[in-house]
Chain A
Amino acid sequence: MVTARFAEYVERDSRNHGMNLRFSFPPFPVVGMSQAVLRKYVEGNDPVTGKPLMQEVMDALTKPLTEQEKNAVRAPKPARQRMLTQDTEENLQRLFLENGWTDGLPIVLPTEERVAEMLTGTSHDPDEAVGLMTITTLQEKMAYTVEKVAINAVMAGARPEHLPVILAIASTQEPSMPSSTTSFARMVIVNGPIRDEIGMNAGVGALSPFNFANSAIGRAWTMMSINLADAKLGDTFMGSQGNNLNYNNMCCAENEEKSIWEPFHVQKGFKADESVVSLFRGWSVINSMGAANCRRPANEETAIMLGAFAGLRSAATLIMDPLVAKGLKDQGFGTKQDVARWLSEHVKMPAGQYWGADIIYSFIAPLARQGIEPYASWSKLPDDELVTPFHDPSQINIVIVGGETNPLWLTTDFLYTQSASVDKWRPKGGIRRDARPMRMPADDGCSDGTCGLPS
């Protein structure tokens, strides 16, 4: 049984799996409804068919199987042709837009010449398989090659110098827009020498649209999610409100030069001179709203902000201006891990608040029922007893981003998912830059060391 909102979705999904499952559809939503409403659902009609719901359930269990149901066969889909139809630019822009192959903005058309040029950005064979992707959890995955990634990179406006980073993202096989009704956000952070080689911004305005590489790479992840992971609105993508972070996925670089702490990729086992992408997933971003480590220390302010989140899987990611890190170090936090440890112990909320979050009910309550600690013990506490939802410091991440115009930071509920090497995708002769690389105006206000706290 599946709520009526997902009738088309599951029927198509089962067909894709070569199965003819018998579904019945109660009204939507089920979550949050009173027992009285749920009883009406059970005793009422299936809104999709208009028939009594329980009669459908009886029929599903007792009506003899059809021949098709007895002998499931999955009709193979024909392989897509490499080239699309030949047409004018105006018609092709319309073709891509109306088929849902873009993010709604004009694209760079992936002509054979442009894709061939993009492929000079890597030494890998265009036909080399990169991975499989879907924005859903269990639906059929789509296969993609180096060339398919290059096509989407062209569409996003990227240049060959960006391709190794885009291929690294593609190699994770993670889409930027999961199907979920809850409307996930994603973030991609770039570490290592590639940041400077392609002119990424880790400083002032790194998360705003002032840098070509940040913009093009972030957009390319969205393009790949649409075209390689089969994101279709209302079909596979079900985010009720959507998330405007999906446009660029917070693509930026870590400000390793200004950071007093270990770079993020080094924390994850890479060497400092390796170039790496790291991916994060969550929903929410809270700006420190002018809190500047002045009236209240940043760690205490962050603890208050984290109290707004459910604490799913203990996951949080802080995106800190370098000045915040320096301030915290002055307060005795020698490492990123020290901050994470402090937060894991000091962010507290009543047990009733914790278990009252729907996402905790769905994902953590089953762990409590299995006896997994600390959740099993927390589930037995009175509602007003305090728990520490961010109890696992290894799940609390810190990334240093910003240009030291003010000691501010972002607090997110983002879970770190994985990192991937950029270097394996580099071309043999080195990063393939244009003769005159495209660069937007950069801020160099602090390059002479005249601003910021003394280090």
Chain B
Amino acid sequence: MLQTEQVYKVLDPRGQSTGVFEPASMAPRLDALDGKTVYLVDVGFGGGYEFLEEMTGWFSRNMPAVRTILRRKKGNMFLDDPNLWAEIKEKGHAVIFAVGG
């Protein structure tokens, strides 16, 4: 590149941050999981359901007092499933979403 002392003023090419998201606080945690119902929700990435099957097995072997419910989220990984969220709020005590990526 040619060496030159001439200076230039240039404009920033980047878009502006919008901050369009409203922050959300987390739900209270449980004291313990024994006797509780934990939903395991496959969000739709490949292999997620099979991974959660193994997690369900882990709970059966190691924490049999925990009731697990394995579910697939409706639609693909980018879609909402408000009916399932309502069901979990009504019938579950905790939820594990897996596996992203």
Identify which of residues 1-43 in chain B touch chain A, using a CB-to-CB cut-off of 8 Å. Answer: 1-26, 28-33, 38
Nearest chain B residue, comparing its CB with the CB of A101: B13
CA distance A61 to B6 in the complex (A): 60
Within 8 A of B (CB), among A143-165: 143-144, 147-148, 151-152, 155
Which residues of A (71-103) have their CB < 8 Å from a CB of B?
71-74, 76-77, 79-84, 86-90, 92-93, 96, 101
Interface residue ranges of A388-436 to B (CB < 8 Å): none
Q: Which of A195-203, A223-231, A332-340 contacts B (4 or more CB under 8 A)?
A: A223-231
Knowing A18-B21, A228-B14 are in contact, say whether A39-B57 is a contact too (CB < 8 A). Answer: yes
Question: Which A residues between 40 and 90 are near B, CB-CB below 8 angstroms?
Answer: 41-43, 54, 57-58, 61-65, 69-74, 76-77, 79-84, 86-90
Q: Is the CB of A366 within 8 A of B9?
A: no
Choice from B15, B20, B26, B96 contacting A57 with Cβ under 8 Å: B96
* In the assembled complex, A133 has its CB within 8 A of some CB on chain B: yes
Which A residue sits closest to B75, measured CB to CB? Answer: A366
Chain B residue total in the interface (Cβ 8 A): 60
Task: Name the segment of A107-115, A267-275, A291-299 touching the other chain.
Answer: A107-115
| Contact of B5 with A31 in the complex, beta carbons under 8 Å | no
* CB neighbors of A among B29-62 (8 A): 29-33, 38, 44-48, 50-51, 53-55, 57-58, 62
Structural contact, A70 and B8, CB atoms closer than 8 A:
no
* Interface footprint category on A: 35 or more
Contact B7 A86 (CB under 8 A): yes
Decide yes or no: A30 and B9 within 8 Å by CB, A6-B101, A42-B58 being known contacts.
no
A329 interface residue per 8 A CB criterion: no
With A30-B48, A61-B94, A81-B12 known as contacts, the answer to whether A74 contacts B23 (CB < 8 A) is yes
Can you name the residue of chain B whose Cβ is closest to the Cβ of A1? B98
- B72 interfacial contact with A, CB 8 Å: yes
| Cβ–Cβ contact A84 & B97, under 8 A | no
Q: Is the CB of B46 within 8 A of A76?
A: no
A21 at the interface (CB under 8 A from B): yes
B64 lies within 8 A of chain A by Cβ: no
Q: Which residues of chain A have C-beta atoms less than 8 A from B7's C-beta?
A: 86-88
In contact, A151 and B24 (Cβ under 8 angstroms): no
A327 to chain B minimum Cβ distance, whole angstroms, is: 39
Contact B22–A109 (Cβ < 8 Å): no
CA distance A141 to B75 in the complex (A): 23
B52 to chain A, nearest CB (A): 9
Whether, in the assembled complex, A26 has its beta carbon less than 8 Å from a beta carbon of chain B, the answer is yes
A16 within 8 A of B: yes
Is residue B77 within 8 Å, beta carbon to beta carbon, of the partner chain?
yes
Cβ contact within 8 Å between B51 and A30: yes
**Cβ of A54: which chain B residues have Cβ within 8 Å of it?**
55, 58, 62
Residues of B within 8 A of A31 (CB): 45-47
- Chain B residues whose C-beta falls within 8 Å of the C-beta of A70 in the assembled complex: 25-26
Are B101 and A35 touching (Cβ within 8 A)?
no
Is the pair B45, A143 in contact by a Cβ cutoff of 8 Å? Answer: no
Question: Does chain B have a CB within 8 A of A266?
Answer: no
Which listed residue, A33, A61, A64, A111, touches B9 by the CB 8 Å rule? A111
**A137 contacts B78, CB within 8 Å?**
yes
Return the CB mask of A348-370 against B: 1 if under 8 Å, else 0: 00000000001001110011011
- Once A61-B33, A90-B3, A140-B21 are accepted as A-B contacts, the answer to whether A38 and B10 lie under 8 Å apart by CB is no
Q: Which residues of B contact A223 (CB under 8 A)?
A: 13
A86/B58 contact (C-beta < 8 A), A61-B94, A72-B23, A369-B72 known: no
Bitwise interface map of B from 49 to 88 toward A, beta carbon under 8 Å scored 1, else 0: 0110111011000100000000011111110000000000
Whether B101 contacts A142 by the Cβ 8 Å rule is no
Return chain B residues, CB-CB under 8 Å to A77. 17, 19
From residue B45, how far is it (CB to closest CB) to chain A in Å?
Answer: 7
Interface contact B13-A155, CB-CB below 8 Å = yes
Provided the pairs A17-B23, A141-B20, A143-B18 are in contact, do residues A366 and B8 lie with their beta carbons within 8 angstroms?
no
Within 8 Å by CB of A111, from B2, B3, B8, B32, lies B8
Choose one: A39, A181, A227; the contact of B13 (CB below 8 Å).
Answer: A227
Whole-angstrom distance from the CB of B15 to the nearest CB of chain A?
3
* Given the contacts A1-B96, A61-B30, A90-B1, A82 and B12 also touching, CB distance less than 8 Å: yes
Q: How far does the alpha carbon of A358 sit from the alpha carbon of B77 in the complex, in Å?
A: 13
Given A39-B57, A88-B6, does the pair A30, B16 have CB atoms closer than 8 Å? no
4 smallest A-B Cβ distances: which pairs?
Answer: A18-B23, A142-B15, A31-B46, A2-B100
* 27 CB-based A-B contacts, threshold 8 Å: A3-B99, A18-B22, A19-B23, A19-B25, A30-B47, A30-B48, A30-B99, A31-B45, A33-B50, A42-B54, A69-B25, A80-B14, A82-B12, A88-B5, A93-B1, A109-B10, A110-B13, A111-B9, A137-B78, A140-B18, A148-B14, A223-B13, A227-B13, A227-B15, A363-B76, A369-B74, A370-B74
With A62-B30, A142-B18, A369-B72 given, name 12 new contacts (CB 8 A): A18-B22, A31-B47, A39-B54, A41-B54, A62-B29, A77-B19, A140-B17, A141-B20, A142-B15, A148-B15, A362-B44, A366-B75
